[in-house]
Amino acid sequence: MKLALLSASFRGGGAERVQITLAGEFARLGHEVHFVAFEDDGPLRGEVPAGVELTVLGVPRVSRGIMPLARFLRKTDPDVVIAAMVHVGAAALAAQMLSRWKGKVIVRADGSRRYHGRKAGGSGSPVLDWLQRILLPGAHALVGVSSTIAREYEEDLGLKNCLVIHNPVSARSGVSVPVKHPFFESGDPVAIAIGRLTKQKGFDFLIEVFGGLVEKPDLKLIILGDGDQRQELESLISELGLDGSVSLPGFVTDPFPFLRRSSVFALSSESEPFGLTLVEALSTGIPVVSTDTEGPRDILNDERLGYMVPFGEHKRFGDCILKALEMPGEYRLVRIDRAAEYAPGRIAQEYLRLIGN
């Protein structure tokens, strides 16, 4: 089978990482795989697996790539297109109509339309809503990466083609790779968080929580990632007097060496449609504390797996971090077994079954 996986870019977000993981797994299973990116930017460009045909449309935004994508579909004629993010899926469906290509389009909903609508001051863009109502029913399926995300599209747009397939996560590396950071050399406990430095990820909330943990003055915090909120977060760290306790090392392609040396993982997002980093943390067996959002509700479906706290409850979140530090080895194997349920091989087979239906 010939599959094309569409991504807006090669940026270091979860949607792009999932496409790269799926591309590698489909290729491993013997399929012809094409990875198509609209924009030619981001640190993950070099992560596209060997054996996957790479096509870069070279446009500044997805909306400018509909005609180039239509030409790609006519020329390559894949059996299936899997699009990461709804606006990319809408572009694929528009390109399908223009090219008269007869294959299947699967649209993966990687974000919460209700969260982004609230942030925009309402229900979101009326034009975008209209386009989604027109185009998305034509997809073979709209795949929500968590049950909450699938339900939002089903209820808000009246779609009948929604279902849930969780994201693939692989603990493929980091077992023997050394990582150097002064926090690990100090012997103090280290909390770790991973994600783009944006408002949605709630790192300002996490830093404020951390500043209030007077019961554990030796606890350190590492936040891996980069983004437009870096300067604001650095100012907050200085303002709270945490310069020697909180570190922002930047984006890393392989977080596992950091995770394996950390004492607890914290996910602090206002909205987290799935939670790749949460599953990565579980795969190492370390305790986790998460805000109670869309994806974590599916993942942490057993109280032994980790603590969930509503976003904004600083003291309760901090208390859960302290509890997690007191029992680092408890339920370790339960967490590892849960993470194994998101192995790329399992998730790829779910997509193949969907394609065959």
Distance CA 355, CA 334 (A): 32
What average pLDDT does the structure give for the chain?
93
The whole-number pLDDT of residue 175 equals: 55
Whether 2-168+343-356 and 182-340 share one fold: the answer is yes
Residue carrying structure tokens 């303002």: 239
Instruction: Tell me the percentage of the chain whose pLDDT exceeds 90.
Output: 81
φ, ψ for residue 5, nearest 5 deg? -105, 120
And the tokens for 122? 């309402």
Pick the CATH number of 2-168+343-356 from 3.40.50.2000, 3.30.70.2520, 3.50.50.60, 3.30.200.20: 3.40.50.2000
255 neighbors 171 (Cβ within 8 angstroms): no
Average pLDDT over residues 232-248: 96
Per residue, what are the HEC states of the chain?
CEEEEEECCCCCCHHHHHHHHHHHHHHHCCCEEEEEECCCCCCCHHHCCCCCEEEECCCCCHHHHHHHHHHHHHHHCCCEEEEECHHHHHHHHHHHHHHCCCCEEEEEECCCHHHHHHHCCCCCCHHHHHHHHHHHHHCCEEEECCHHHHHHHHHHHCCCCEEECCCCCCCCCCCCCCCCCHHHHCCCCEEEEECCCCHHHCHHHHHHHHHCCCCCCCCEEEEECCCCCHHHHHHHHHHCCCCCCEEEEECCCCCHHHHHHCCEEEECCCCCCCCHHHHHHHHHCCCEEEECCHHHHHHCCCCCCCEEECCCCHHHHHHHHHHHHHCCCCCHHHHHHHHHCCCHHHHHHHHHHHHHC
Q: In CATH terms, is domain 182-340 a member of 1.10.3720.10?
A: no
The whole-number pLDDT of residue 89 equals: 96
Which of 87, 127, 83, 125 is CA-nearest to residue 106?
83
pTM: 0.92
pLDDT digit string, tens, across residues 141-152 = 999 999 999 999
pLDDT category of residue 5 using cuts at 50, 70 and 90: very high
The whole-number pLDDT of residue 122 equals: 54
First to last CA, the chain: 14
φ, ψ for residue 144, nearest 5 deg? -85, 135
The whole-number pLDDT of residue 318 equals: 97
pLDDT digit string, tens, across residues 59-76 = 999 999 999 999 999 999
Residue 126 has pLDDT above 90, yes or no: no
Which of 278, 346, 344 is CA-nearest to residue 23?
344
pLDDT digit string, tens, across residues 299-327 = 999 989 999 999 999 999 999 999 999 98
**Domain limits of the chain?**
2-168+343-356, 182-340
Residue 120 has pLDDT above 60, yes or no: no
pLDDT digit string, tens, across residues 6-17 = 999 988 678 899
Residue 177 has pLDDT above 80, yes or no: no
